[in-house]
């Protein structure tokens, strides 16, 4: 990966120069991709996330949008405190670094911070991981798959060993592929904090709350066993490291 940046007027684009040679704001314009019949679908979640088929490969285009009470003030405008501190550029840098470390994340393609006075709007274009399903959608059919839960724990431990604190580790941000592959996604507001045991415990506690909320009532008796297997995979990876 070869991160580069391009500034034009009040907009800054960061991009992977190994894959994109001439980045422009059209990369982040839904109408641009719709006109090229490149929109393959739309992901469920807060705001609009487009699934694209691009010349750079399958991709995801996500606009940064607010939820909760801040959305009453503005859905898509954030306080500007510098381009490099903006959420899209920060997440691009985080994903670029994690990709270079060989961690299972989607590789970033480009990010845009578009300043408007004291505020900005942001977008992120990233690689789309194919043939994966959120862990949240597999609970019913994979509650008895002990190896799956151990793999999830082991992958989380790899990120913690690298000092990564995920800001929203939940069952929808863990993607399970065919075979042994497990990926983590959504690194908005993630940070690096080596050996921050309290932060890592908080990550796991957040994931546990997510699973408790999503767990099907008929399988309630399996929750504790699955969680113990996840913790076992986490501890095993810790011992291996």
Q: Are 100 and 117 in contact (CB under 8 A)?
A: no
Q: Is the pLDDT of residue 238 over 90?
A: no
Which tens digits make up the pLDDT trace of 150-179?
Answer: 999 999 999 999 999 999 999 999 999 988
Alpha-carbon Rg for the chain in angstroms: 19
E strand or H helix at 156: helix 146-161
Q: Give 104: exposed, middle or buried? Use CB within 10 Å, 0-12, 13-18, 19+.
A: middle
Strand partners, 115: 120
Percent of the chain surpassing pLDDT 70: 93
Report the C-alpha gap between 42 and 176 in whole angstroms. 19
Report the C-alpha gap between 102 and 162 in whole angstroms. 11
Report the C-alpha gap between 222 and 232 in whole angstroms. 15
**Tally of CB atoms within 10 A around 201:** 11
CA distances from 77 to 72, 74, 122, 123 (A): 11, 6, 8, 11
Predicted pLDDT of residue 241: 45
Q: Is the pLDDT of residue 129 over 90?
A: yes
Look at the block and give the residue holding tokens 């699934």. 51
Report the C-alpha gap between 32 and 70 in whole angstroms. 29
Predicted pLDDT of residue 66: 81
Predicted pLDDT of residue 73: 64
Q: Which of 64-78, 98-112, 142-156 is least confident?
A: 64-78
Active site residues: 168
When pLDDT is averaged across residues 216-241 and rounded to a whole number, the result is 88
CA dihedral 227, 231, 234, 238 (to 10 degrees): 180
| Average pLDDT, rounded, for the chain | 93
E strand or H helix at 40: strand 39-43
When pLDDT is averaged across residues 104-128 and rounded to a whole number, the result is 97
Predicted pLDDT of residue 46: 55
Predicted pLDDT of residue 228: 97
First-to-final CA distance of the chain: 26
Q: What is the DSSP letter of 169?
A: -
pLDDT band for 239, please (50, 70, 90 cuts).
low
Exposure string over 106-130, b if 16+ CB within 10 A, otherwise e: bbbbbbbbbbeeeebbbbbbbbbbe
Report the C-alpha gap between 47 and 67 in whole angstroms. 9
Predicted pLDDT of residue 45: 60
Q: Are 199 and 117 in contact (CB under 8 A)?
A: no
When pLDDT is averaged across residues 61-90 and rounded to a whole number, the result is 85
When pLDDT is averaged across residues 136-141 and rounded to a whole number, the result is 95
């Amino acid at each position: 990966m070869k991160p580069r940046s391009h500034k034009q007027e009040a907009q800054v684009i960061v991009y992977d120069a190994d894959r994109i040679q001439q980045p422009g704001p059209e990369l982040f314009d839904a109408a641009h991709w719709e006109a090229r019949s490149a929109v393959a679908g739309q992901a469920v979640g807060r705001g609009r996330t487009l699934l694209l088929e691009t010349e750079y490969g399958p991709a995801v285009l996500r606009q940064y949008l607010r939820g909760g009470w801040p959305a009453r003030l503005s859905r898509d405008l954030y306080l500007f405190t510098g381009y490099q501190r903006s959420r899209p550029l920060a997440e691009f840098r985080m994903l670029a670094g994690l990709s270079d470390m060989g961690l299972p994340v989607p590789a970033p393609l480009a990010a845009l911070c578009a300043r408007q006075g004291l505020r900005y709007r942001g977008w992120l274009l990233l690689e789309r991981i194919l043939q994966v399903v959120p862990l949240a959608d597999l609970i019913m059919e994979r509650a008895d798959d002990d190896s799956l839960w151990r793999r999830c724990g082991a992958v989380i431990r790899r990120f913690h060993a690298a000092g990564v604190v995920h800001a929203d580790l939940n069952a929808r941000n863990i993607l399970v592929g065919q075979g042994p592959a497990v990926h983590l996604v959504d690194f908005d507001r993630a940070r690096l904090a080596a050996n921050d045991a309290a932060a890592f415990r908080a990550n796991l506690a957040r994931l546990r709350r997510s699973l408790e909320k999503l767990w099907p009532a008929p399988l309630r008796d399996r929750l504790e066993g699955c969680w113990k297997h996840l913790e076992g995979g986490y501890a095993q990876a810790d011992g291996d490291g």
